[in-house]
Structures are given as C-alpha cells and as structure tokens.
C-alpha cells in the first residue's frame, strides 16, 4: 500500500466517540464533535454522526461546506469567530457560530434578514486564556444589543480555555461561567439553551466535579480522535490512542556516525543543529518530512529515535529494530501532527472501515477458496518428526472426550513442545488449555462427518443431502483432506479455573460449538467478551508459529499444508500419517513415542 499514508481506523474513532459521549451524558453534558483536526474528512464526520453526535463544529467554512456537500447530516457550528468579510457565507453555509464581535453579529443579522434565515449564535466569554471572548464586564452590554437584532438568535454562551495560554478549566472557572449564565437569564428574562464549557481539556474538571452547574455542552476534538487529555498529555482510560497511525517507508539504511563530519553552520531551517555522540549508529532515512507533517508531534511505535528532519526526510536511529530498505515505520500522532498529516496532499488517507458480517464472510470464503487451491498442489517433504501423545505429558491440559475409542491425542513432537509452553502461559492466568482433538485417523474423521450429517438431517429435515453435505463440508473436512491426519493440527479452547467454565468464544456453550459463520475467527457480530477470548486463544498459538484456520477459531496448524500455504513456504514438513503406519509404529515403539517411518 502506498506510503507515506495515514491509517484511519473508523471503528476506533467510533469507540472513542461512544465512550466519551456516554461519559459526559452521565452528567447531562452534550458533546459537539470538532472536525478541524481531521480536515473535516467526510467519512470520519459520518462515523461521528452515526455514533450519536448531533452537532459538528469546524473552524473553517470550507470544511463545513465539504461535509455538507458530501451529504453529512448534522447541525454545523462555526467555532472560529467569523470574519466579517465572510458574514454572508456564515449565514448561508452554517447553522450556528461562536461570536465575540458585535460588528460581525450585526452583519450576520443583516444577511440573515436578507436571506430570510435565522442564524444561531453563541457568545464567547473571556475567562483568562486570552484568545476569543467578550470581557465578562462587557457581556450584558453586548447582549442587550444582540437581543434587539433580527435574524440572529442568542442560543447560549461559551468559553474556551487551555488553548492560547494553556489556562486550566478549573471548578472556579466553570462556576463563573455558570453564574454568568444564570445572571444573564435573570436580567434579560431569557433562557440560554447552550452553556458550552470548553474543549477536551475540560475532561479532568468533568471527572472530578461534583456538580457541573449550568455547563451542558463541550466541544471535543483531540480526545475523540487521539484519546488523550491535552493538558497533561495522559491517555484517557478506555479510549484508543491509535485510531490514527502515520506510516512512512525506509529509503536508506546505513551504519554512519552519530555526529557529522565538518564545520557546522546553519541547517536547512536556519537553526544551528546539535548532536549527541553515540558513536556509529544504524541510521535510516524515511521518505517523509516537515513538508508532510509536523515531525515533532510523532511518536514511533518501534524502539527507534528521531534524530531530525528536513522538508522531505526524517532521519532516525534504527537502534536494534530489524528494518531494511522498503520497511514501513509507524507513528502515533499528537494533535499538531494529526492536523498537518490530514491536511497534507502528499499523505494518502487510508480509511480502515469496519466490515459488515456479510463483507467479512465473503472475504473469508474467497480466501479459503484460494487457500484450498494452493493446499491441493503444495508438495510435502515429510521430515519424520515423531508423534507423541499429549496424554503422556505433565502439562496442565483438559482433554475433551472423543467419539473415537481409546483416543490418544497424538501430535508431532514440535507441536507437543509448543502446547507445553502455551499451557504454562495459561497456568499463570488461572486458565487451562482444553485439547479437543489432535491426530485423527481416516476412520475417526469419517465418524465425525457422519455424526454431523445425521445431526443436521434431524435439525433440518427439509434440506437435501447435497445441502447438508455443503454445510458439513464448511466445518469438517472429508477424510483424507483433514490436516488432523498430519499430527500438526490441534483443536483447542480455554477453561477459566476461577469462573469454572469454558471461556465464551461466541458460538460455544461450554464445550459444545454451534457450527455457523460466526465461527470465522474475526466475525464482527460476536460480543466484545468473545472477541477478547478469541484474541487470547489465537495469540497464544500464533506466538508459537501456528496458523489459525480461516473458518474455525479453535483449529490451529503447524508444519502441515495449511501452515505451509499460509506462510508461503515451498513445501510442508508434515504429511498425512495413516492409521496403519501409526498402529505399526505403536507396536514397534511401545515407549510412548510413535515414529512415522
Ligand atoms: C479547536 C477548538 C475546540 C476543540 O478543541 P480540542 O482540544 O480538540 O477538544 C473547541 N472549541 C474551540 C473554540 C476550538 O477552537
């Protein structure tokens, strides 16, 4: 995919929006979402609206127009005090605006009358940050005049702190705004419907205050998009900090000195650069620079150090990270970096949108079709790794009862060791690995097929034999095609020792699994709990180099054709071990280890 790019994860933005909205709603404070930080990207705006935001705010009319033209359905608030020269456009293109100048409000009134509209205004009050706002002592004077104007409707008052001077929105400041609201209502016998207390920096005040007073609205940008509280730079609990990720590509990687060679003058930006002597280092150059993004607002995901940047380059110390020319390097962004990256025409905006269940299943099935084609032709170079019974281990395992008599839960030696390490990790979490199935003979596989077929026949008496076969084949391989006959496949679940039950994986009732599309590992329509549990199970196995089946979250392969195809190997190491071989090996080697000869 093209670089440099910004990966925009819409599900994470949706999550942050929902969490913050419900938090603020708990004390009857509404959230306006501020879109300036993402250049009013219409798909992002739509996600905000879809997740309950009614009012979208931006500092620029052009951004509001962009959202309107893209069909975003919201009330639009202009949050930068309007330019008097744009008054007509403010009235025509926005629904409401924050204001602090009477001369501008008069113009808004004129154009509103001309176009037969009513424009809503919120008067900003200066509470110490020294950016926009009417001095509290002048407020009544201004309101008296505003109330006489036609075409404009005074909807409320607001304030903005923590921007120009970093003044903290304290309890005292918010109480002051509340008392101003109340005294205005009394004096003019009006009702102010919106008392807008500030921006993302109001988070800590909100969390700690016992009484929000008259404040019933906040305007949030940074905290929704980046999950941070801006005054302290601390992550807000339960929010994603990586809904946006910037990705750049390595174009040079060499061992070079950490200090330059020669007399030092001014750099490309007229500054005298300073260097820390770290001896020889691995220096990588990324194809991205200050012309693309505010580099000082980037935080690398890897353990690397940004040494400096020019218009088109970022130079990093790659330290011990395994980078090479062509590698992608990812960064999370601070607000300044987000704004510049979203505004840069050089950076590709890569929207990652949540898939619907239908889309996801279609992708899985297509992948599976392709995968099956490849597994049909991939060669096997049998490496004769022996089979061992997991029952002969001292690992903490639970064995699910099998329909096969005297079932031994055989796996290849390497798989055996991997299962040992996985079970240890679970021991430390108060959990236990359940082994449902391991090596299976053809006869065993056929039994499973027949059992499922007769179960489904009873459940759906109207379905034809072909229809039943199709459902069964989705989840049970016909004999000879199952990777369970290689000794490299394991079916596993997890038991919670504290709760004394099998974890919830979304389609199971204890050990019983209902076979349907929701068994596809990343199906979107399962509960958050089930998603978390599947993640845990799959990560345990993937960290041991297994691959998870496309359609069954409990099935893992190593060394066999499924594994080889997923890893783009030239051949698989584990071929099919037929019953007769395993039987005769068992006779020849009664000491628990079964060899395939
Ligand atoms: C930018 C801005 C906001 C949003 O600030 P965040 O820190 O991104 O939440 C709110 N109000 C006004 C007036 C702004 O200019």
Q: What is the pLDDT of residue 396?
A: 96
The pLDDT > 70 percentage for the chain reads 98
Q: What are the tens digits of pLDDT across the range 373-395?
A: 999 999 999 998 889 999 999 99
For residue 5, pLDDT beyond 70: yes
Cβ of 221 less than 6 Å from ligand 1: yes
Q: Which residues pair with 493 in a beta bridge?
A: 434
For residue 354, pLDDT beyond 90: no
User: How long, in residues, is the chain?
Assistant: 597
Same domain for 344 and 384? no
Q: Which residues lie below 8 Å from residue 301, measured CB to CB, with a gap of 6+?
A: 245, 329, 330, 331, 332
Is residue 595 assigned to a domain? no
Same domain for 345 and 404? no
**CA of 199 relative to ligand 1 center, distance in Å:** 5
Is residue 376 assigned to a domain? yes
Predicted TM-score (pTM) of this structure? 0.72
Q: Which residues lie below 8 Å from residue 273, measured CB to CB, with a gap of 6+?
A: 264, 267, 308
Same domain for 429 and 377? yes
- Among 200, 235, 270, the domain-final residue is 235
Q: What is the pLDDT of residue 587?
A: 65
Q: What are the tens digits of pLDDT across the range 104-152?
A: 999 999 999 999 999 999 999 999 999 999 999 999 999 999 999 999 9
The domain in which residue 42 lies consists of 10-235
Same domain for 500 and 417? yes
Q: What is the mean pLDDT of the chain?
A: 94
Q: Which residues pair with 156 in a beta bridge?
A: 122, 194
CA angle 27, 28, 29 (to 5 degrees): 95
Contact indicator for 577, 382 with CB cutoff of 8 Å: no
Could you identify the atom of ligand 1 that is nearest to the CA of residue 36?
Answer: 1
Q: What is the pLDDT of residue 362?
A: 95
- Among 352, 387, 414, the domain-final residue is 352
Cβ of 217 less than 6 Å from ligand 1: no
Cβ of 169 less than 6 Å from ligand 1: no
For residue 597, pLDDT beyond 60: no
Question: Residue 541, class by beta-carbon neighbours within 10 Å (0-12 exposed, 13-18 middle, 19+ buried)?
Answer: buried
Q: What is the pLDDT of residue 596?
A: 47
Cβ of 220 less than 6 Å from ligand 1: yes
In this prediction, residue 473 has a pLDDT band, given cuts at 50, 70 and 90, of: confident
Q: Give the C-alpha separation, 422 to 401, whole Å.
A: 21
Count how many domains the chain has.
3
CATH number for the domain that contains residue 308: 2.40.37.20
Pocket test for ligand 1, best of 221, 236, 239 (most atoms within 8 A of CB): 221
Q: Give the C-alpha separation, 597 to 585, whole Å.
A: 8
| Packing angle, helices 136-146 and 171-188, rounded to 10 | 30
CA angle 82, 333, 52 (to 5 degrees): 60
Same domain for 377 and 460? yes
For residue 206, pLDDT beyond 90: yes
Q: What is the pLDDT of residue 590?
A: 57
Could you identify the atom of ligand 1 that is nearest to the CA of residue 222?
Answer: 8
Q: Which of 15, 34, 65 is nearest to 338 (CA)?
A: 34
Q: Give the C-alpha separation, 169 to 176, whole Å.
A: 11
Compute the average pLDDT of residues 210-233: 96
Same domain for 44 and 115? yes
Q: Take atom 7 of ligand 1 and give the residue whose Cα is closest.
A: 200
Q: What are the tens digits of pLDDT across the range 167-202?
A: 999 999 999 999 999 999 999 999 999 999 999 999
Q: Which of 426, 375, 396, 415 is nearest to 556 (CA)?
A: 415
Compute the average pLDDT of residues 433-446: 94
CATH number for the domain that contains residue 400: 3.30.1380.10
Is residue 117 assigned to a domain? yes
Structure tokens at 474: 């989705």
**CA of 44 relative to ligand 1 center, distance in Å:** 17
Q: What is the pLDDT of residue 35?
A: 98
Same domain for 394 and 441? yes
Residue 338 CA to chain centroid, in angstroms?
A: 16
Structure tokens at 257: 């000195």
280-286 vs 244-257, strand pairing mode: antiparallel
- Among 298, 329, 352, the domain-final residue is 352
Is residue 3 assigned to a domain? no
For residue 482, pLDDT beyond 80: yes
At which residue do the structure tokens 């979304």 appear?
506
CATH number for the domain that contains residue 51: 3.20.20.10
Is residue 28 assigned to a domain? yes
SS3 44: helix
Q: What are the tens digits of pLDDT across the range 571-596?
A: 999 999 888 777 776 666 655 555 54
Cβ of 476 less than 6 Å from ligand 1: no
Same domain for 64 and 204? yes
Same domain for 256 and 223? no
Is residue 219 assigned to a domain? yes
Same domain for 396 and 317? no
Same domain for 217 and 248? no
Question: Residue 394, class by beta-carbon neighbours within 10 Å (0-12 exposed, 13-18 middle, 19+ buried)?
Answer: exposed
Cβ of 79 less than 6 Å from ligand 1: yes
For residue 252, pLDDT beyond 70: yes
Could you identify the atom of ligand 1 that is nearest to the CA of residue 200?
Answer: 9
For residue 430, pLDDT beyond 90: yes
The pLDDT > 90 percentage for the chain reads 87
Same domain for 190 and 317? no
Q: List the catalytic residues.
A: 36
Per-residue DSSP letters for 333-374? E-HHHHHHHHH-TTSEEEEE-PPPHHHHHHHHHHHHHHHHHH
């Amino acid at each position: 995919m093209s670089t440099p790019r910004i990966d925009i994860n819409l599900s994470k933005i949706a999550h942050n929006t929902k969490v913050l909205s419900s938090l603020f709603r708990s004390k009857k404070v509404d959230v306006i979402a501020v879109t300036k930080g993402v250049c009013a990207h219409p798909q992002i705006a739509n996600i905000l609206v879809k997740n309950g935001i009614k009012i979208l705010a931006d500092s620029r009319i052009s951004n509001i127009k962009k959202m309107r033209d893209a069909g975003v359905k919201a009330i639009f608030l202009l949050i930068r005090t309007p330019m008097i020269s744009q008054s007509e456009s403010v009235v025509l293109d926005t629904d409401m605006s924050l204001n602090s100048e009477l001369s501008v409000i008069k113009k808004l009134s004129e154009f509103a009358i001309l176009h037969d509209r009513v424009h809503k205004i919120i008067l900003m009050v200066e509470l110490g940050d020294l950016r926009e706002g009417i001095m509290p002592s002048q407020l009544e004077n201004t309101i008296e005049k505003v109330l006489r104007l036609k075409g404009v409707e005074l909807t409320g008052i607001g304030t903005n702190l923590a921007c120009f001077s970093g003044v903290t929105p304290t309890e005292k400041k918010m109480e002051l705004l509340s008392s101003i609201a109340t005294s205005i209502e009394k004096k003019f016998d009006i009702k102010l419907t919106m008392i807008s207390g500030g921006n993302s920096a109001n988070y800590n005040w909100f969390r700690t205050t016992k009484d929000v007073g008259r404040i019933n609205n906040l305007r949030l940008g940074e905290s929704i998009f980046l999950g941070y509280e801006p005054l302290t730079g601390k992550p807000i609990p339960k929010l994603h900090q990586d809904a946006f990720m910037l990705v750049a590509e390595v174009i040079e990687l060499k061992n070079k000195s950490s200090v330059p060679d020669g007399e030092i003058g001014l750099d490309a930006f007229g500054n005298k650069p300073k260097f820390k002597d770290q001896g020889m280092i691995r220096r990588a150059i990324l194809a991205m620079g200050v012309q693309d993004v505010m580099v000082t607002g980037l935080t690398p995901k890897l353990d690397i150090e940004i040494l400096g940047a020019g218009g088109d380059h970022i130079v990093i110390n790659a330290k011990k990270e395994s980078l090479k020319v062509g590698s992608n390097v990812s960064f999370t962004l601070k607000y300044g970096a987000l704004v510049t990256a979203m505004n840069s025409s050089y950076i590709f905006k890569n929207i990652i949108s949540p898939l619907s269940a239908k889309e996801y299943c279609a992708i899985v099935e297509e992948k599976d079709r392709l995968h099956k084609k490849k597994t049909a032709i991939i060669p096997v170079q049998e490496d004769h790794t022996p089979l061992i019974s997991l029952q002969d281990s001292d690992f903490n395992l639970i064995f699910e009862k099998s329909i096969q008599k005297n079932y031994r839960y055989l796996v290849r030696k390497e798989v055996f060791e991997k299962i040992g390490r996985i079970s240890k990790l679970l021991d430390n979490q108060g959990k236990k690995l359940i082994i449902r199935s391991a090596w299976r003979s053809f006869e065993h596989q056929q039994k499973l097929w027949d059992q499922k077929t007769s179960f489904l026949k009873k459940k759906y008496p109207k379905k034809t034999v072909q229809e039943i076969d199709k459902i069964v084949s989705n989840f049970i391989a016909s004999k000879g095609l199952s990777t369970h006959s290689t000794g490299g496949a394991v079916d596993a679940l997890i038991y919670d020792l504290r709760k004394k039950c099998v974890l919830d994986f979304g389609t199971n009732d204890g050990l019983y699994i209902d076979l349907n599309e929701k068994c596809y590992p990343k199906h979107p329509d399962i509960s958050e709990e089930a998603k978390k549990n599947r993640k845990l199970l799959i990560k345990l196995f993937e960290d041991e180099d297994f691959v998870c089946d496309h359609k069954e979250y409990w099935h893992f392969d190593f060394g066999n054709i499924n594994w080889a195809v997923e890893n783009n190997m030239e051949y698989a190491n584990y071929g099919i071990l037929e019953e007769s071989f395993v039987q005769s090996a068992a006779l020849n080697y009664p000491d628990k280890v079964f060899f395939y000869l």
